[in-house]
Amino acid sequence: MDSSAIALGAPRNSSSDDEEMEEEEGEVIESAPPLQIGEERVLGALRIKKKMLKLGTGYETPEHGAEATVHYVGTLLDGKIFYSTRDKSEPVTLTLKVDEVRAPRGLGHCIMTMKKGEIALFTLPADQGYGAEGCDNVPPDSVILFEIELFSWIDVVDVRRDGGIIKKIIEKGDKNGKPSDLDEVLVRYQIELLDGTVVTKSPDEGIEFCVNEGHICPALPLAIVTMRPGEKVKLIVQPQYGFGEEGRSSSGNINVVPPNSVLNIDLVLVSYKPVIDVVGDSKVVKKIMRDGEGTSVADDGATVTVSYVAKLQDGTIFERKGVGEEEPLVFVTDEEQVITGLDKAAATMKKGEKAVLTISPEYGFGNVEVQRDLAKVPQCSTLIYEVEMLDFVKEKTPREMNNEEKIEAANRKKEEGNLLYKNQKYQRAAKKYSKAAECIENGKFEGDEEKQVKALRVSCFLNGAACSLKLKNFLETTILCSEVLDIEFQNVKALYRRAQSYIEVGDLISAEMDIKKALEADPENR
Q: Where are the domains of the chain?
A: 5-155, 165-272, 276-393, 398-521
CA distances from 382 to 118, 277, 365 (A): 59, 15, 9
pLDDT at 337: 96
The values of phi and psi at residue 395, to 5°, are -60, 150
pLDDT tens, N- to C-terminus, the chain (526 residues) = 444 444 444 333 333 344 333 333 444 444 578 999 999 999 988 899 999 999 999 999 999 889 999 999 999 999 999 999 998 879 999 998 755 556 688 999 999 999 999 999 999 999 999 999 999 899 999 999 999 999 999 999 999 999 999 999 999 998 879 999 999 999 999 999 999 999 999 999 999 999 999 999 999 999 999 999 999 999 999 999 999 999 999 999 999 999 999 999 999 999 999 999 999 999 999 999 999 999 999 999 999 999 999 999 999 999 999 998 899 999 999 999 999 999 999 999 999 999 999 999 999 999 999 999 999 999 999 999 999 999 999 999 899 999 999 999 999 999 999 999 999 999 999 999 999 999 999 888 999 999 999 999 999 999 999 999 999 999 999 999 999 999 999 999 999 999 999 999 999 999 999 999 999 998 876 6
pLDDT at 176: 78
CA distances from 97 to 5, 80, 108, 111, 353 (A): 11, 28, 8, 12, 45
CATH of domain 165-272: 3.10.50.40
CA distances from 291 to 235, 273, 294, 426 (A): 30, 9, 9, 35
CATH architecture of 5-155: Roll (3.10)
Nearest to 103 by CA among 136, 56, 60, 57: 136
pLDDT at 46: 87
Nearest-angstrom CA–CA distance, 2 and 134: 16
Angle (CA) 90-95-97 rounded to 5° is 165
Fold of 276-393: Chitinase A; domain 3 (3.10.50)
pLDDT at 28: 44
pLDDT at 442: 86
Whether CATH 1.10.3720.10 fits 398-521: no
Q: Is 174 in a helix, a strand, or coil?
A: coil
Task: Pinpoint the alpha helices (H) of 253-313.
Answer: none
Q: Is the separation of the CB atoms in 437 and 411 below 8 Å?
A: no
pLDDT at 191: 98
Residues of the chain by 3-state class (helix, strand, coil), percent to 5: 25, 30, 45
pLDDT at 99: 54
Same fold, 276-393 and 398-521: no
pLDDT at 33: 87
